[in-house]
């Protein structure tokens, strides 16, 4: 299941602002950038073609990240715009573990 619409970063302007000015939490496979906002927690997910040339693989990673964020960060997350960028693909379990560790560091869980 995907993130609810109210919890997604939809505008490119907001996405770029978070990437430019956000606080960084870096892992081995994933990094997060967060910026406080006055609203509900919102997340954007980026998986570049460098991770995999196949769109199906990138979409599967995007769905994995989305589901992990929905289950781990949304119930406790408050007032942050966050962009999740996947840098490498070492399998779904490794990406999920790295993302959970970063969400803990950022204070979402």
Local confidence band at 77 (pLDDT 50, 70, 90 cut-offs): low
Say what the pLDDT of residue 51 is.
95
pLDDT band at 6 (very low <50, low <70, confident <90, very high): very high
Task: Give the CATH number, domain containing residue 60.
Answer: 3.30.230.10
Output the pTM of the full model.
0.92
Kindly compute the dihedral angle of the four CA atoms of residues 59, 53, 92, 41, in this order, to the nearest 10 degrees: -50
Count of structural domains within the chain? 1
Domain that holds residue 75: 5-106
Least confident residue range of 46-50, 52-56, 58-62, 70-74? 70-74
């Amino acid at each position: 299941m995907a993130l609810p619409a109210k919890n997604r970063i939809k505008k490119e302007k907001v996405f770029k602002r978070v990437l430019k000015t956000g606080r960084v939490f870096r892992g081995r496979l994933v990094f997060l950038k967060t910026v406080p906002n006055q609203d509900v927690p919102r997340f954007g997910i980026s998986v570049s073609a460098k991770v995999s040339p196949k769109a199906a693989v990138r979409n599967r990673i995007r769905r994995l990240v989305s589901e992990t964020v929905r289950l781990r960060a949304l119930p406790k997350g408050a007032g942050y715009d966050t962009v999740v960028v996947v840098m490498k693909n070492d399998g779904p379990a490794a990406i999920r573990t790295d993302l959970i560790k970063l969400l803990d560091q950022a204070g979402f869980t």
